[in-house]
Structure 1
Amino acid sequence: MAEKLTVEQSNAAISSDQPIIQACDLTREVNIGEDKLVILQDINLRIRAGESAAIVGTSGSGKSTLLGLLAGLDVPTRGSVFLDGEDIFKLNEDERAQLRGRLLGFMFQSFQLLPSLTALENVMLPLELLAVGNARAIAYDWLERVGLKKRVKHYPRLLSGGEQQRVAIARAFVTHPKMLFADEPTGNLDMITGAQIIDLMFQINQEQGTTLVLVTHDKNLSARCSHIIELVAGRIVSEKA
């Protein structure tokens, strides 16, 4: 006879089935004069903790809008998003910002580094916003980890595109976020550098068990993901998980 699960084991099994990211009937519309433009319509998705999910589709399909809604950076016309069990659109803007600071890391195609800060200071910034002690030492360790030990005092304008994205990776992971959202993280990089950044991102992601959500046109990047969501004209047309 099979051994019965303990209460703790049963709860763990239930918890493992719960999505860390869930969208329910998510719709985003904008009014243009007397017309209504539907950017996203009735999006329903579930992403489990530790998954790597790619959101793919042609330009204008709604990929970046979906990522922004999942992060609570934009507000839907209707529908809900749950992050780690929290209904984020029941929170006000300040509360959503606090939740992002606790749960999320971000990477962008344009890197989004602050030009007036050194590489080290850029990586320190999320730690300082969370009042984490010893931020300088932690940030230095992360820059060494991504191969930029000799670039810590350099400003973004003195770094190559690949080096800037390495700084962005260190900044995204430095707070050990539960989720990392990335919008075209290799879009401004050449093929070889992009491949190196993909390898580095997945290596760190696997080490930390972060849930990774990517918007990408890069087929090599989406192929590395365990969950692929395809959008066409604001709707999910296929999903592989």
Structure 2
Amino acid sequence: TLGAKLLDKFGKPIESGGEGLKNLFRIDCSQLDSRIKRTKFIVAADVDNPLLGKRGAARVYAAQKGATPKMVGELEKYLTNFARVIEKDLGIEVADLPGAGAGGGLSAGSVAFLNARIKQGVDIVIKAWGLKEKMENADLVFTGEGSIDRQTLYGKVPFGVAKIAKKYGVPVIAIAGNVEDGAYMLSKYGIEAIFSTTPRIMTLAEIRKNPGQLITNTVEQIMRIYRLRKEGC
């Protein structure tokens, strides 16, 4: 372990998981691993959501993972207590920090206990891959993710790719296994069209059996249309 202790009001360790945070009273970092202070940590977050609030970890992502409205409300209270104790004992404010809600609040904990910096994961990947240089001579760009929805606007890969492509005037087409309400708002930000890879109503298990083939089939059909356009048909 890293050495930090999350304790209840009796000085005993709290239970693991979100529910345990309701009993969090004090954080003891007196035995925190000394190597942490000598190490620079960067958290690559795929969204800029804060820890709490309408766009926070509980209200946005817990529901996606199957939590009921009651469970979401409870988790929001537990995370609020977590943020309060972090600020009280460590002097670090994570409640409204952009990106702190990524990974179910993992980013918030990383900032609190590792003194980590949160960076947009897509920016890290774009730089490492040299995407800007590759984009200059591109005719068409494909991007995608498992599900494209309103959250895609908050720093996910398709949004980051589209921002760069727009600078170079390159059209972007996005593909996803699931296309939800709000996805088409991305047209304002450089994504020309969005396609689902599922040709019919399919269960998640069916989609996971052969996602590569579904992607290939979808891209092939898109390119057939693109070729017709290039040929002036």
TM-score in terms of structure 2 length: 0.26
| Greater per-residue helix proportion | 2
Structure of greater relative contact order (alpha carbons < 8 Å, 6+ residues apart): 1
TM-score, normalised to structure 1's length?
0.25
Q: Which protein has the larger Cα radius of gyration, Structure 1 or Structure 2?
A: 2
